[in-house]
A and B are shown apart, each in its own frame.
Chain A
Amino acid sequence: GAGVSQSPSNKVTEKGKDVELRCDPISGHTALYWYRQSLGQGLEFLIYFQGNSAPDKSGLPSDRFSAERTGGSVSTLTIQRTQQEDSAVYLCASSLGGNNQPQHFGDGTRLSIL
Chain B
Amino acid sequence: KQEVTQIPAALSVPEGENLVLNCSFTDSAIYNLQWFRQDPGKGLTSLLLIQSSQREQTSGRLNASLDKSSGRSTLYIAASQPGDSATYLCAVRAYNQGGKLIFGQGTELSVKP
Task: Answer whether residue A65 sits at the interface, using C-beta atoms and an 8 A cutoff.
Answer: no
Question: Are A58 and B105 in contact, CB atoms less than 8 angstroms apart?
Answer: no
Chain B proximity of A35: nearest CB distance (Å):
8
Taking the complex as formed, is B99 at the interface, i.e. its CB lies under 8 A from any CB of chain A?
Answer: yes
Do B43 and A91 have beta carbons less than 8 Å apart?
yes
A33 neighbours in B (Cβ, 8 Å): 99-101
With both beta carbons as reference points, the residue of chain A lying nearest to B35 in the complex is identified as A102
User: What is the 8 Å Cβ interface bit string for chain B, positions 72-109, against chain A (1 contact, 0 not)?
Assistant: 00000000000000000101010000111111111000
How big is the A interface, by class?
Answer: 20 to 34
Q: Which residue of B lies closest to A9 (CB)?
A: B41
> How many residues of chain B get a CB closer than 8 Å to chain A's CBs?
24
Contacts of A106 in B (CB 8 A): 43
A99-B93, A100-B31 as given contacts; A42 in contact with B103, CB under 8 Å: yes
Contact A45 B101 (CB under 8 A): yes
In whole angstroms, how far apart are the Cα atoms of A99 and B94 in the complex?
A: 9
Asked if A99 meets B101 with Cβ closer than 8 Å, knowing A91-B43, A107-B42, the reply is no
| In the complex with contacts A48-B99, A56-B100, A99-B44 CB distance below 8 A | no
User: What residues on A are CB-neighbors of B106 within 8 Å?
Assistant: 42
- By beta carbon, the residue of chain A nearest B42 is A107
CA of A6 to CA of B44, assembled, Å: 13
B100 touches A100 (CB 8 A): no
Is B32 part of the binding interface, using a Cβ–Cβ cutoff of 8 Å?
yes
A6-B43, A48-B99 known; 15 other A-B pairs, CB under 8 Å? A33-B99, A42-B105, A42-B106, A45-B100, A58-B98, A99-B32, A99-B99, A102-B46, A103-B46, A105-B43, A105-B46, A106-B43, A107-B41, A107-B43, A110-B41
Interface, chain A (partner B; CB < 8 A): 4, 6, 31, 33, 35, 42-43, 45, 48, 50, 56, 58-59, 91, 93, 95, 99-100, 102-108, 110
23 inter-chain pairs at a CB distance below 8 angstroms, sorted by A residue, are A42-B103, A43-B89, A43-B91, A45-B100, A45-B101, A50-B99, A56-B99, A59-B100, A91-B43, A91-B44, A93-B44, A95-B99, A99-B93, A99-B99, A100-B31, A100-B32, A102-B34, A102-B46, A103-B101, A105-B36, A105-B46, A107-B41, A110-B41
